[in-house]
Amino acid sequence: MCASIINPISTADGLIRYGETGLNVQRIFAISSADFLKMHEDLLCRGLKVRCPNAGAQIDFVLYCHSLTVSGAEVDILISEFNTAQLGDGTDMKHALSLAKLYFHYFTAGHRIQVIRTDNSQSTADLCIDGVKCDLKVRHDQTEKRMEPHGNLLSEGKSDEYYDIFWEEIRSMEHDLSTAIRNRVQSGFVQADCIILDLSNHFHSWNYHRLLSLQKAGEINGLSADPVAAIAGACILFSPNNARDLRRTGFHPEAFWGYLPLVTGNAR
């Protein structure tokens, strides 16, 4: 849990630090540290409170929300949800950040989208897209946790052996992904008409090839680079690009989308 307020610190070479963590916004996004701090200051004026020293999440949230405000969107509820999430564990922050990403993609694509403020007294949907109530689920990858017992291989200079095990873990995860998705999805239809499942734990190319392989196997439909329509009784797969790609300039979020076919009668 994070409590005290944190102020970001910039360096001359473009690094933005939140506590002990930092990212070079100049190299990754071609945004100067001074310009980023102006974006951050604008969100502070809108109510943002930085409590967790997670530079990646904090910087992404600022960039998504700043882009939304430039496009004319209201971000007050997104900020409120992110502030509250920082008082919980890391999974809460991932969910709040994923919500901001979803909002960005659907809003900029011209969809009617509304974030539903969290009500701890009852289970509610997370957002409404084109009149359809949607619940966001974020898949939490356990690969890093399963690799912890093998961490000594890196310190012993056995990186090849370590990454052989790492890639085996990823390949084995692909085999059970379809079942895991369905198990994660079914509980969400209690409070919403449509489920959106964020699969963004891995780098962008892996997400794409993972979804493409599932489409070829008939496990998903409609793989697309544009947000797909929210449909009652459907599950949308959402895979945003979280890579820190130094070959691109500027903040240009991308994502892949698709539908998970659900067996009739299982959705409710």
What is the model's pLDDT at position 267? 36
pLDDT score of 209 more than 50? yes
Per cent of the chain over pLDDT 90 is 40
Q: Check: CB of residue 57 under 8 Å from CB of residue 90.
A: no
Tokens representing 186 are 């079914």
The better pLDDT of the pair 90, 94 is held by 94
User: What confidence score (pLDDT) does residue 102 get?
Assistant: 96
Return the axis-axis angle of helices 55-70 and 76-85, rounded to nearest 10°: 170
What is the phi/psi pair of residue 153, to 5°?
Answer: -60, -35
User: 10-32 pLDDT, tens per residue?
Assistant: 987 778 999 888 999 988 898 99
Task: Determine how many CB atoms are found less than 10 A away from the CB of residue 156.
Answer: 10
**What's the confidence (pLDDT) of residue 81?**
95
On the question of pLDDT at 187 being above 70, the answer is: no
pLDDT at residue 264, as a whole number? 36
For 219, the token pair is 């496990």
Whether the predicted pLDDT of 192 surpasses 50: yes
Please give the Cα distance from 96 to 209 (Å, whole number): 26
Report the sign of the C-alpha dihedral through residues 120, 76, 237, 51, in that order: negative
Of the pLDDT bands very low, low, confident and very high (cuts 50, 70, 90), residue 184 is low
Residue, of 126 and 178, whose pLDDT is higher: 126
Tokens 């945003």, located at residue: 240
Cα–Cα distance, 262 to 239 (Å, whole number): 19
Predicted local distance difference test score (pLDDT) of residue 222:
75
Please state which of the ranges 86-100, 109-123, 235-249 shows the lowest mean pLDDT: 235-249
Three-class DSSP category at 143: helix
Position with higher pLDDT, 264 vs 112:
112
Average pLDDT over residues 180-202: 68
